[in-house]
């Protein structure tokens, strides 16, 4: 288990390193660049050339990459040129990541909390009303683009009904203390309950919108897995042995059906980060999704590098955790 | 579907109790005078206006800072600001400002003539990164060089013979003075705070610049609002009323800027009551915004959109007849009606008629395809082919719909036999780079004026021969630059205006380096609960006159 973990971690380092090279080269091959963003539309060719020289952007790309790597190992990933101009790129990431994580966790919790019980019940009563309704809903969840659903939810519940906030992470009038950057958690830690509640309410619409795809996928996998397991010989044997329905369902069906479900949850966690880009834009949440969108718009290379590489690291880490939990759930994998 | 309704229903139920809570919370934060929340399209880069050149930074800093002169609310005319009066020497090189008495900076220190001179000296003595155009754009553009003497500077020195008199000396007369002192970068800041928080400590680092502690969190001016906080995690900037303000105090207690980059989201936030106003609404939304009861105010146009011509790569474009043919080919009346917001006008020269030196009798280029064909034939350019650049991923106040404008102009050109090769580039993804590097034959671009001076328009475009129109290739390019320089340096106002009128006539008849297309009025929208907003043609609104009802 330890060797496996170490090997996977080493792979992760390689993946991230390769990605950083590709990303560095690709960003610099794009037209425009930070110099245009810094100088604005009133730049002259002379001022561009002077600024490129001052920032070292006129040097060969390998030299620039080496400079980037040597600074990066000291924790200096450059300074934002457009997203939060003048702020260290790493700080931009650290400041915005909690917003994305908070939103993704909330969406995932919503998806898991509904998808697993509904998937299980739908499988148990295959062909029943819950099964049919859930299948249709899961199809809708996959087919309807997240941003469309986000706009729709926002229009109905924020703009028309005025029940929920239309955007942002917290009301501007709330003078909340920032501790971790997770607004809900901060409210709890500082016992500023209004602030925590306000942050929670701001999260609802975007989280519901973002949870539709993971709900659909986790629901379908749970349903299929439960159906498969219920047809297995050991379940029939358990019934023949006279075990109660509750014990069979908990010990044999649910336990064994969870393996593919956990994998799916892991993969969906990665996908959520991608979905958050659109959701953050619609609900104006200052997360890393919005940073990526603004980063491309304003050619903010340092921020794009930190955010994309870090997102990739999170994705790879999540996959590692999934694989490890696989081993925990299925003892056979531990002995291999 | 039912699940969605159920989920949304739960969300709705949770929100019911909150709605009242959120409403009361907004009210409480408002206090006396309430809170005005404005949706900003972008985050300010920093809070030291001297190092800034972007509108979103200025939108915030102009609430906190004031210059020696101000612009009259609702116009581009200059009026007294921190200087009560001023006069210039006959040669236009020495300017004596009587400064206002009893004015204090937000940190409690006195504003006086000494503070004025310290600000001038700060600007002039920039070194290192501070001299970069990315930071000191407005100084370089308007004053030229710095104290190191590498480039000539308009600024010569500043003296404070008594606490209420500041004497600013220039190396030559200029039409820009004193108007430029109303520009945001030249607002007067507290010398004590500048020093305490090391305002000049800006450095080039990695791919960008790192700002001082002052620029990040201690901006200290004399204006009607003071800085309170910038919450980057929530994208909000909070200012509060300056109760010690020397003039009429702001009506609102709190001024909040919420950064909302997406235009549709800003519109929805206004509809949902999350913000009280935002700038530059999409012209297509104006009718709907009005129908919903909002107050849409259209500013006077103070900009120009032109069809740029680069003479470098296409020798045929160096022929005046060809450029005149292009001007006759474009149906500007239809373009304005079809692609521009209400209040837009056809441009007859390179700046709007409210700017000094406007000439009513310049050569006109009415829409006349036959004349265009004839001129092209005379120039031997009936087979003219052009690379026509237009920008994507952008709207500008003078160019609300680049694609639509491009299509209209390109169709007009095709009608007279010009072969158009369309080239589109993202605004920040190569468009401005390639246009400035003379890759385009024709391009769409424009300009919003900073202050009421012809030099700010045609001086910026053609004041040197190294420009995006490549006027250095023309025998008249240098003459034009010299004429502009001479007009700018003429201290006598009447004579100066006559010189600019003469230049405008020549620009339209003899030179025609580009084709002026339109002046387009940018709009600003506030909810029906907001009163007292005074839109500025310079898009330089100060929100001290705003009040919130209801």
What is the band of B32 on the pLDDT scale with cuts at 50, 70, 90?
Answer: low
What is the band of B24 on the pLDDT scale with cuts at 50, 70, 90?
Answer: very low
Mutate to test the interface with A, among B1, B2, B3 (most CBs of A within 10 A): B3
C-alpha B176/C-alpha B498 separation (Å) is 16
Closest to B62 measured CA to CA, from B473, B548, B538, B549:
B538
pLDDT surpasses 80 at B259 = yes
Total Cβ atoms within 10 A of residue A15: 14
pLDDT surpasses 80 at A232 = no
C-alpha A175/C-alpha B287 separation (Å) is 36
β-bridge pairing B547-548 and B530-531: antiparallel
Q: B322 near B381, Cβ under 8 Å?
A: yes
pLDDT surpasses 70 at B19 = no
Interface of B with A in 78-137 (CB under 8 A): 129, 132-134, 137
pLDDT surpasses 70 at A331 = no
Report chain B's mean pLDDT, rounded to a whole number.
90
> Which range has the top average pLDDT, A70-74, A160-164, B367-371?
B367-371
Gyration radius of chain A over CA positions: 24
Largest interatomic CA distance in chain A: 86
Structure confidence at residue A5 (pLDDT): 78
Gyration radius of chain B over CA positions: 25
Structure confidence at residue B193 (pLDDT): 97
Nearest to B260 among A157, A284, A293 (CB): A284
Residue B29 at interface with chain A, using a CB cutoff of 8 Å: yes
Mutate to test the interface with A, among B54, B199, B208 (most CBs of A within 10 A): B208
Mean pLDDT over residues A237-245, rounded? 72
Report chain A's mean pLDDT, rounded to a whole number.
83
- Domain boundary assignment for chain A: 89-164+208-335
C-alpha B278/C-alpha B526 separation (Å) is 7
Residue B206 at interface with chain A, using a CB cutoff of 8 Å: yes
Phi and psi at residue B36, in whole multiples of 5°? -105, 120
Q: B367 near B416, Cβ under 8 Å?
A: no
Are the beta carbons of B21 and A197 separated by less than 8 Å?
Answer: yes
Are the beta carbons of A164 and B54 separated by less than 8 Å?
Answer: no
Mean pLDDT over residues A31-53, rounded? 76
Closest to A132 measured CA to CA, from B210, B340, B3:
B3
Are the beta carbons of A31 and B259 separated by less than 8 Å?
Answer: no
pLDDT surpasses 70 at B275 = yes
Instruction: Give the tens place of pLDDT for each residue, B66-108.
Output: 999 999 988 889 999 999 999 999 999 999 999 999 999 999 9
pTM over 0.90: no
Closest to A312 measured CA to CA, from A282, A286, A288:
A288
Instruction: Give the tens place of pLDDT for each residue, B456-466.
Output: 999 999 998 88
Q: B491 near B92, Cβ under 8 Å?
A: yes
Mutate to test the interface with A, among B4, B25, B206 (most CBs of A within 10 A): B206
C-alpha B155/C-alpha B144 separation (Å) is 8
Structure confidence at residue B508 (pLDDT): 97
Closest to A196 measured CA to CA, from A217, A222, A170, A216:
A170
DSSP one-letter string for B86-122: EEE-TTS-EEEEEEPSS-B-TTSPBP-HHHHHHHHHH
C-alpha B53/C-alpha B70 separation (Å) is 18
Angle at A239 between CA A238 and CA A242, to 5 degrees: 95
Are the beta carbons of B232 and A168 separated by less than 8 Å?
Answer: no
What is the band of A42 on the pLDDT scale with cuts at 50, 70, 90?
Answer: low
Exposure class string for B164-188: b at 16+ Cβ within 10 A, else e: ebbbbebeebbbbbbbbbbbbbbbb
Closest to A133 measured CA to CA, from B3, B5, B7, B10:
B3
Residue A233 at interface with chain B, using a CB cutoff of 8 Å: no
Please write down the long-range contacts of A58-63, taking CB distance under 8 Å and 24 or more positions apart: A61/A24, A61/A25, A61/A28
Are the beta carbons of A32 and B265 separated by less than 8 Å?
Answer: no
How many contacts (CB atoms, under 8 Å) link A and B?
234
More confident site: B536 or B204: B536
Are the beta carbons of A32 and B431 separated by less than 8 Å?
Answer: yes
C-alpha A265/C-alpha B28 separation (Å) is 43
Structure confidence at residue B8 (pLDDT): 42
Q: B486 near B492, Cβ under 8 Å?
A: no
More confident site: A147 or B326: B326
**Strand residue runs (E) in B8-110:** 35-40, 69-71, 78-80, 83-88, 94-99
C-alpha B96/C-alpha B91 separation (Å) is 13
CATH superfamily for domain A89-164+208-335? MetI-like (1.10.3720.10)
DSSP one-letter string for B264-303: HHHHHHHHHTS-SEEES--GGGHHHHHHTT-EEEEPPP-E
Structure confidence at residue B17 (pLDDT): 40
Nearest to A171 among B22, B433, B434 (CB): B22
Q: B521 near B299, Cβ under 8 Å?
A: yes
Closest to B186 measured CA to CA, from B228, B150, B227, B137:
B137
Residue B45 at interface with chain A, using a CB cutoff of 8 Å: yes
Instruction: Give the tens place of pLDDT for each residue, B317-335.
Output: 999 999 999 999 999 999 9
CB within 8 Å of A161: residues ≥ 6 apart: B12
Interface of A with B in 96-125 (CB under 8 A): 96, 98-99, 110, 114, 118
Bridge partners of residue B158, in order along the sequence? B168
Interface of A with B in 147-166 (CB under 8 A): 153-159, 161-166
Phi and psi at residue B539, in whole multiples of 5°? 50, 40
Instruction: Give the tens place of pLDDT for each residue, A87-131.
Output: 899 999 998 989 998 999 999 999 999 988 888 888 888 888 888
Give the containing element (helix H, strand E) for B360.
Answer: none
Q: Measured in Å, how far apart are chain B's first and last C-alpha atoms?
A: 38
More confident site: A65 or B24: A65
Nearest CA in chain A to B19: A163
pLDDT surpasses 80 at A328 = no
CB within 8 Å of B169: residues ≥ 6 apart: B93, B94, B95, B155, B156, B157, B158, B159
Which percentage of chain A shows pLDDT scores above 90? 13
Structure confidence at residue B5 (pLDDT): 40
What is the band of A330 on the pLDDT scale with cuts at 50, 70, 90?
Answer: low
Alpha carbon A100 to chain centroid distance? 7
Nearest to B425 among A31, A118, A178 (CB): A31
């Amino acid at each position: 288990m330890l060797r496996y973990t170490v090997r996977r971690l080493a792979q992760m380092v390689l993946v991230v390193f390769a990605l950083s090279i590709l990303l560095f080269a690709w960003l610099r091959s794009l037209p425009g660049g930070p110099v245009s963003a810094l100088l604005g539309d009133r730049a002259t060719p002379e001022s561009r050339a002077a600024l490129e020289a001052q920032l070292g952007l006129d040097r060969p790309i390998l030299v620039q990459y080496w400079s980037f790597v040597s600074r990066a190992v000291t924790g200096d990933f450059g300074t934002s040129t457009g997203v939060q101009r003048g702020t260290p790129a790493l700080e931009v990431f650290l400041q915005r990541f909690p917003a994305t994580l908070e939103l993704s966790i909330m969406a995932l919790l919503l998806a898991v909390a509904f998808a697993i019980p509904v998937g299980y019940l739908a499988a148990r009563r295959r062909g029943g009303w819950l099964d049919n309704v859930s299948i249709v809903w899961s199809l809708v969840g996959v087919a309807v683009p997240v941003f469309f659903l986000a706009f729709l939810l926002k229009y109905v519940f924020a703009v028309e009904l005025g029940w929920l906030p239309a955007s942002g992470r917290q009301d501007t009038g709330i003078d909340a203390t920032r501790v971790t950057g997770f607004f809900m958690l901060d409210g709890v830690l500082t016992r500023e309950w209004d602030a925590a509640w306000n942050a929670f309410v701001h999260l609802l619409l975007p989280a519901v919108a973002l949870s539709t795809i993971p709900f659909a996928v986790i629901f379908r996998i749970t349903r299929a897995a439960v159906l498969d397991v219920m047809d297995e010989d050991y379940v029939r044997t358990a019934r023949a042995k006279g075990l109660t329905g509750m014990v069979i369902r908990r010990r044999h069906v649910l336990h064994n059906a969870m393996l593919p479900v956990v994998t799916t949850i892991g993969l969906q966690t990665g996908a959520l980060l991608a979905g958050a880009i659109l959701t953050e834009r619609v609900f104006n949440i200052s997360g890393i999704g919005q940073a990526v969108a603004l980063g491309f718009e304003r050619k903010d290379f340092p921020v794009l590098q930190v955010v994309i590489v870090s997102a990739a690291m999170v994705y790879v880490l999540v996959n590692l955790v999934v694989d490890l939990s696989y081993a925990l759930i299925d003892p056979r994998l531990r002995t291999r | 579907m039912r699940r969605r309704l159920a989920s949304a229903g739960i969300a709705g139920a949770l929100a019911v109790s909150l709605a009242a809570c959120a409403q009361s919370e907004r009210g409480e934060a408002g206090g006396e005078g309430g809170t005005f929340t404005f949706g900003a399209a972008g985050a300010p880069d920093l809070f030291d206006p001297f190092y800034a050149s972007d509108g979103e930074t200025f939108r915030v800093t102009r609430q906190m800072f004031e210059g020696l002169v101000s612009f009259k609310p609702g116009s581009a005319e200059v009026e007294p600001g921190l200087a009560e009066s001023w006069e210039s020497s006959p040669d236009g090189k020495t300017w004596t400002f009587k400064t206002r008495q009893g004015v204090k900076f937000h940190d409690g220190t006195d504003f006086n003539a000494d503070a004025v001179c310290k600000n001038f000296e700060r600007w002039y003595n920039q070194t290192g990164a501070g001299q970069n155009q990315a930071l000191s754009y407005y100084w370089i553009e308007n004053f030229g060089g710095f104290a190191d003497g590498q480039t000539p500077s308009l600024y010569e020195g500043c003296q404070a013979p008594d606490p209420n008199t500041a004497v600013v000396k220039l190396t030559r007369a200029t039409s820009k003075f004193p108007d430029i002192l109303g520009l945001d970068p030249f607002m007067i800041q507290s010398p004590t705070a500048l020093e305490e928080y090391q305002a000049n400590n800006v450095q080039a680092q990695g791919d960008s610049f790192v700002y001082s502690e002052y620029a990040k969190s201690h901006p200290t001016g004399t204006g009607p609002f003071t800085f309170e906080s910038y919450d980057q995690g929530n994208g909000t900037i909070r200012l509060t009323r300056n109760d010690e303000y020397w003039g009429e105090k702001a009506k609102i207690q709190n001024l909040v800027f919420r950064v909302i980059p997406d235009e549709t989201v800003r519109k929805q936030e206004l509809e949902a009551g999350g913000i009280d106003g935002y700038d530059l609404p999409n012209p297509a939304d104006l009718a709907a915004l009005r129908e919903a009861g909002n107050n849409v105010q259209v500013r006077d146009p103070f900009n120009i959109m032109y069809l740029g011509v680069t003479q470098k790569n296409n020798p045929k474009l160096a022929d005046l007849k060809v450029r005149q043919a292009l001007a006759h080919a474009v149906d500007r009346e239809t373009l304005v009606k079809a692609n521009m917001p209400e209040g837009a006008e056809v441009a007859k020269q390179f700046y709007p008629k409210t700017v000094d030196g406007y000439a009513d009798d310049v050569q006109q280029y009415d829409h006349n395809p036959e004349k265009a064909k004839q001129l092209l034939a005379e120039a031997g350019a009936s087979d003219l082919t052009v690379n026509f650049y237009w920008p994507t991923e952008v709207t500008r106040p003078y160019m609300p719909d680049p694609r639509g404008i491009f299509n209209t102009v390109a169709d007009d050109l095709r009608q007279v036999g010009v072969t158009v090769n369309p080239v589109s580039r993202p605004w920040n993804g190569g468009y401005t780079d390639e246009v400035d590097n003379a890759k385009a034959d024709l391009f769409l671009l424009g300009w919003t004026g900073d202050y009421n001076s012809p030099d700010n328009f045609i001086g910026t475009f053609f004041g040197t021969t190294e420009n995006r129109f490549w006027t250095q290739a023309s025998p008249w390019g240098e003459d034009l630059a010299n004429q502009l320089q001479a007009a700018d340096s003429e201290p006598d106002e009447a004579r100066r205006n006559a010189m600019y009128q003469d230049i405008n006539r020549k620009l339209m008849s003899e030179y025609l380096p580009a084709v002026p297309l339109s002046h387009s009025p940018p709009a600003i929208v506030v909810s029906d609960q907001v009163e007292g907003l005074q839109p500025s043609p310079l898009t330089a609104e100060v929100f001290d006159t705003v009040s919130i009802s209801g």
